[in-house]
Amino acid sequence: MNKTVLVVAAHTDDEALGCGGTIARHVAEGDTVYAVFLADGVTSRPDATSEELGQRNAAAEKAHKILGITRVYMLGFPDNRMDRVPLLDIVQNLEAVVGEVKPEVVYTHHYGDLNIDHRITHQAALTACRPVPGSSIKEIYAFEVLSATEWNNPSLNPFMPNAFVDISEHLEKKMEALAAYGLEMREAPHSRSLINARRFAELRGSSIGVGAAEAMMAVRVIF
How much of the chain, in percent, has pLDDT values that exceed 90? 90
Among the listed residues 60, 5, 27, 6, the one whose alpha carbon sits nearest the alpha carbon of residue 170: 27
Mean pLDDT calculated for residue range 29-33: 98
Asked whether residue 49 carries a pLDDT value surpassing 90, the answer given is no
Give the domain extent around 137: 4-221
Question: Which strand (E) or helix (H) includes residue 119?
Answer: helix 116-128
Task: Identify the helix (H) or strand (E) that includes residue 75.
Answer: strand 71-77
Altogether, the residues listed in the chain come to a count of 223
Q: How many CB atoms lie within 10 A of CB 209?
A: 9
Residues 124 and 92: beta-carbon distance below 8 Å: no
Mean pLDDT, rounded, for 184-211: 97
Q: What is the mean pLDDT of the chain?
A: 95
Q: What is the pTM of this model?
A: 0.96
Higher pLDDT, 176 or 80: 176
64 SS3 class: helix
Distance CA 116, CA 111 (A): 9
Mean pLDDT along residues 71-84: 95
CB crowding 153-183: b at 16 or more within 10 Å, else e? eeeeeebebebbbbbeebbebbbbbbbbbee
At how many degrees (to 10) do helices 171-180 and 194-206 cross? 160
CATH number at residue 71: 3.40.50.10320
What Rg, from alpha-carbon coordinates, does the chain have? 16
Structural domains in the chain (count): 1
pLDDT of 34 strictly over 80? yes
Residue predicted with more confidence, 47 or 90: 90
Structure confidence at residue 31 (pLDDT): 98
pLDDT tens digits, one per residue of 79-136: 999 999 999 999 999 999 999 999 999 999 999 999 999 999 999 999 999 999 999 9
pLDDT(53) > 90: no
Q: What is the dihedral sign for C-alpha 160, 165, 168, 170? A: negative
Tens of pLDDT, residues 133-169: 999 999 999 999 999 999 999 899 999 999 999 999 9
* CB neighbour list of residue 133: distance below 8 Å, 6 or more residues apart: none
> Ranked by mean pLDDT, which of 41-50, 53-62, 91-100 comes out on top?
91-100
